[in-house]
Amino acid sequence: MTYLTLEERPLPIGSIGTRSSGWWAMLFVIITEGAIFVFLQFSYYYIALQQPPAAAWPPSGPPAMDLSLPSTLILLASSATFWWGEHSIKCGSRLWLTLGLLASLVLGAVFVAIQGLEWSHQHFNYATHIYGSLYFTLTGFHIAHVVVGLVIIAALLAWSLLGYFNGARYAAVSTGGLYWHFVDAVWLTLFFTFYIMPRLR
């Protein structure tokens, strides 16, 4: 009588490659959320164009850039470290993926902290005038997306530490990266809208 012995191995986790169903789902989420940001910024520019030529816009003058500029560079750096981590896992290095995700998580958290500090330094609030409402609505909506992105990065970091990813299976990393880069790109448009455009007017 012949006995067949089977080796017990854990089942593979995650899809092979990058274009998983989750990646496509995230793409449609980004399209939807991007449309919301477009409409919100359209409302800002529409209201700004309705102001009389002699009226000051923003009412308190252009916001200071002493906090917003460093926070922008920090957020861009978080995108770079995420890209570096994703590139590393494609090459089979889980260690560098883990370090890249950790760096992105820390940098993203620092961005949120600086944004909160900047809010506290503003001389207006969401009820002071329509500009204040637009400012806190748009930046607050963006911060909410950043927080969601930080949760995603934290989950990816935990899965990386548990050994879920390798050089063939890293689709979740690519999906998370797609969202995080979107969050960073949206901030660049907001930075231009609130900090650069008033200085060009």
Average pLDDT value for the chain? 88
Phi, psi (deg, nearest 5) at residue 169: -120, 100
Q: How far apart are CA 200 and CA 55, in angstroms?
A: 15
Query: Domain boundaries in the chain?
Result: 33-44+63-200
Q: What is the tens place of the pLDDT at every residue in 67-99?
A: 999 999 999 999 999 999 999 998 989 999 999
pLDDT confidence of residue 111: 97
pLDDT confidence of residue 48: 87
Rounded to two decimals, what is the model's pTM?
0.86
Which class is domain 33-44+63-200?
mainly alpha
Q: Is the pLDDT of residue 8 over 60?
A: no
Nearest residue to 85 (alpha-carbon basis) of 76, 95, 71, 77: 95
Q: Where are the alpha helices (DSSP H) in the chain?
A: 21-49, 68-90, 94-121, 130-161, 171-191, 197-200
List Cα–Cα distances, 8 to 11, 14, 32, 154, 163, in angstroms: 9, 19, 43, 30, 17
